[in-house]
Amino acid sequence: MKYKIAVVGLGYVGLPLAHAFSSKYEVVGFDIASWRVDELNRGIDRTLELDKVQMQDGLDNGMLFSTNLEDIQDCNIYIVTVPTPIDSSNKPDLTPLIKSSQSVGKVLKKDDIVIYESTVYPGVTEEICVPELESLSGLKFNEDFYCGYSPERINPGDKEHTVTKILKVTAGSTPEIANIVDTLYKSIIKAGTFKASSIKVAEASKVIENTQRDVNIALINELALIFDTMGIDTAEVIEAASTKWNFIKLKAGLVGGHCIGVDPYYLTHKAQELGYKPNLILGARQINNGMSRYIAEKTIKKMIVNDKKINNSSVLILGLTFKEDCPDTRNSKVFDIIDELVDYGCIVDAYDPWIDKKDIDETNFTFIENPFNLSKKYDSIVVAVSHKEFIAIGRDEYETISTGEAVLIDIKGIIDNPTWRL
């Protein structure tokens, strides 16, 4: 059978996937954001997941991008890669998933296959998405159309573990469809595939990947709080402990981004609906969410010790993204540090060479150009992200933009002799 693939959602996950499939299949990328589609059709990817050469290769392969449902109505494989965020109460927000399912339902035809890649709790594909597909299409699930699930494993900004180099979990709504979905992905995934026994198993496998990491980091963060109280360097403790062969070496720090800081809430939501309270997972979330406030409080305390005024003090934040060397600010906990500092009366400037000023909401801070090229001086400097540009900065350079003795807060362990290090 000849496949024509529609990739619905063209962000950090959808675009690289569309590019990978375009090497072997006819691909149309669909997104509701007209500015995004316009940029992609001009060969521009602001997420930096694809460079200009890769973008041109995809376009040369016939890869098209559109906001018009008519352009994907003749596809027979629909792959949904929209985000699955949480709301202000940390509850799953399935709105993007539901709306994209409704869009696909409007063009769904007999024997089509809809594959979901979005991270969800077990049951969402068949209990939430399928009814939307049936309602809009008038077709019957597992008789007229079918579904698959293959959770995304993209790591934003990672140029080594790209989509075709990461082993892919696959699943289908029937044994036959599971084989088709697995074969489809296997045709482009060099690392191979793992066929799960059901869609729910595949959904669960994805959501626990990030939940496990969240819990592990929470342990290290709690240890960091304990050791900081004791006056012990956490990094040195971790280095010593990691000499044991089975010790998992992780660093303390902020837990943001669209995956690790979000996905556990999908699992805990479903667990609590079923009457089980996942205390360990929720406790880990509480610890990790509290790190921004702890860092802000330490910054204020160190400024007081160094006779720095707090009200109307000037604080510089270096780095706003949720991780190093990428422009992704989704759920970045650095903004929470800024909020806390502003509550103390600080005036905050922020610099990040990976971000375009027009993409930032400067509600309570000022986004500036490279501060080392300016004349302004700061009462405190918080290095929040380990961008390669910041790793290259020597301690002496921080002194040149500091008022008096520098108060340097190092969250990422990249400064020599900081005032305080997490």
* Cα distance between residue 184 and residue 114, in whole Å: 13
Same domain, 127 and 224: no
Task: Name the β-bridge partners of 149.
Answer: 116, 171
For residue range 3-19, list pLDDT tens digits in order: 999 999 999 999 999 99
Catalytic residue flag (residue 259): yes
* Residue 344: Cβ within 10 Å count: 15
- pTM for this prediction: 0.91
Question: H/E/C letters for each residue in 48-112?
Answer: CCCCHHHHHHHHHCCCEEECCHHHHCCCCEEEECCCCCECCCCCECCHHHHHHHHHHHHHCCCCC
For residue range 252-283, list pLDDT tens digits in order: 999 988 889 899 999 999 999 999 999 999 99
* Cα distance between residue 6 and residue 14, in whole Å: 10
Domain assignment present for residue 134? The answer is: yes
Q: Could you tell me the residue range of the domain that residue 57 belongs to?
A: 4-197
Q: Reply yes or no on whether the pLDDT at 30 is more than 80.
A: yes
Active-site annotation holder among 129, 259, 326, 346 = 259
Q: Reply yes or no on whether the pLDDT at 233 is more than 80.
A: yes
Q: What percent of the chain stands above pLDDT 90?
A: 85
Task: Name the β-bridge partners of 146.
Answer: 113
Same domain, 259 and 132: no
Give the model's pLDDT for residue 154: 81
Same domain, 25 and 156: yes
For residue range 157-197, list pLDDT tens digits in order: 777 788 999 999 999 999 999 999 999 999 999 999 999 99
Which of 258, 288, 318 is the last residue before a domain boundary? 288
Per the prediction, the chain carries an average pLDDT of 94
Mean pLDDT of 20-43: 95
Q: Reply yes or no on whether the pLDDT at 360 is more than 90.
A: no
Same domain, 271 and 359: no
Which of 262, 288, 314 is the last residue before a domain boundary? 288
For residue range 61-83, list pLDDT tens digits in order: 889 999 999 999 999 999 999 99
Let me know: does 84 contact 119? Beta carbons within 8 Å: yes
Same domain, 244 and 277: yes
Band (155; pLDDT cuts 50, 70, 90) = confident
Q: Reply yes or no on whether the pLDDT at 229 is more than 90.
A: yes
Band (353; pLDDT cuts 50, 70, 90) = very high
Which tokens is 408 given? Answer: 């340097």
Q: Reply yes or no on whether the pLDDT at 201 is more than 90.
A: yes
Instruction: Determine whether 164 is exposed, middle or buried from the number of CB atoms within 10 Å of its CB (0-12, 13-18, 19+).
Output: middle
Mean pLDDT of 94-98: 97
Same domain, 19 and 49: yes
What's the number of domains the chain is made of? 3
Same domain, 264 and 153: no
Which of 150, 167, 197 is the last residue before a domain boundary? 197
Same domain, 294 and 279: no
Same domain, 65 and 36: yes
Same domain, 168 and 317: no
Same domain, 305 and 256: no
Residue given tokens 């569309």 in the structure block: 18
Same domain, 412 and 351: yes
